[in-house]
Amino acid sequence: EDQVTQSPEALRLQEGESSSLNCSYTVSGLRGLFWYRQDPGKGPEFLFTLYSAGEEKEKERLKATLTKKESFLHITAPKPEDSATYLCAVQAWTGANNLFFGTGTRLTVIP
């Protein structure tokens, strides 16, 4: 059964304090791994897709990496506007187009 575990559940950082969020996954044939950002009361916003181990993607202060068992979302010198819940999702080759989501990491960046 496909499974996605995100850690930590919540993270508080001082502005400028870099850190990483973890997404561990078990899937029967990874087709893709996706990162989203979700602000309170809003729909998730797409950030990255990673397809193979060793792949990296960057966007502003965010960098996503992928291994065969987990993905990391690195946040460099975060700002208060980076505060949000970050969601990880996997897609298997056997599951049509379905994405299977983790429960997210709630990030708070303190000025």
Partner 1 sequence: SQTIHQWPATLVQPVGSPLSLECTVEGTSNPNLYWYRQAAGRGLQLLFYSVGIGQISSEVPQNLSASRPQDRQFILSSKKLLLSDSGFYLCAWSFAGGPDEQYFGPGTRLTVT
Residues 13-72 binding partner 1 (CB under 8 A) are: 31-32, 34, 36, 41-46, 49
Site size with partner 1, rule: CB under 8 A? 24
Residue 3 is inside which H or E element, if any?
A: strand 3-7
Does 87 help bind partner 1 (rule: CB under 8 A)?
Answer: yes
Interface residue list for partner 1 (CB under 8 A):
4, 31-32, 34, 36, 41-46, 49, 87, 89, 91, 96-104
